[in-house]
Structure 1
Amino acid sequence: MTMFITLGILIISIAIALIELPKLKKGGAKLAGLFLFLLVLGAVLNIAISLNVSMISPLDPIIYIFQPISDFLMENLLNKK
């Protein structure tokens, strides 16, 4: 079943590229390259989701960075009397 989902994602991605690339080539090679990069990235992530691959949330690194700052501020602001 997952093979059909993967194949469907690839077919849809190729169809989108074939429809949109001729229009984007008029805008320049950088625009077409960025479009292809984002399309491939989206297709890979969708395939990974369909295969139930465990991925980290984009919020995990943000929480890791800002949690100590939050703890420090909460401790210093709430304990002041």
Structure 2
Amino acid sequence: MLISLVILMISITIVLIELPKLKKGDAQLTGIFLFLLVLGAALNIAISLNIPIISPLDPIIYIFQPISDFLMENLLNKNN
């Protein structure tokens, strides 16, 4: 729990330091900055609390594994 508070304090410090440096009129850049910072802080807090996080590769494998199996099966059968 202490690690989570430290991560939040570091994130708030980053916002206080970097947010004034961003252009005032560029709301899109500010939004992306805040989104990525919140995402990173949330993932770090989840890791510190030992919450299982799926790998981004798992959905890709889930989608492409049947295609790979199909292609390998067809390529191996054509050679025989």
Settle same-fold status: TM greater than 0.5. yes
Q: Is the partner of 2:22 in helix, strand or coil? A: helix
Q: Which amino acid aligns with 2:59?
A: P
Normalising by structure 2, we get a TM-score of 0.91
Cα RMSD over matched residues? 1.2
Cα distance in 2 between the residues matched to 1:27 and 1:77 = 56
Number of the residue aligned with 1:42: 40
The counterpart of 2:55, out of the listed 54, 57, 60, is 57
Does 1:79 pair with 2:77? Answer: yes
Normalising by structure 1, we get a TM-score of 0.90
Cα distance in 1 between the residues matched to 2:25 and 2:32 = 11
Q: Is the partner of 2:68 in helix, strand or coil? A: helix
Number of the residue aligned with 1:24: 22
Deviates more, 1:8-17 or 1:19-28: 19-28
Q: How many aligned positions are there?
A: 79
Question: CA offset at residue 59 of structure 1?
Answer: 1.0
Q: Structure 1: 5+ residue runs without aligned partners?
A: none
Question: CA offset at residue 26 of structure 1?
Answer: 3.6
* Dislocated runs of 4+, deviation >4 Å: none
Could you report, residue by residue, the CA deviation over 1:4-37 in whole angstroms, capped at 9, with x for unpaired residues?
Answer: 1011100110111111111113461111111011
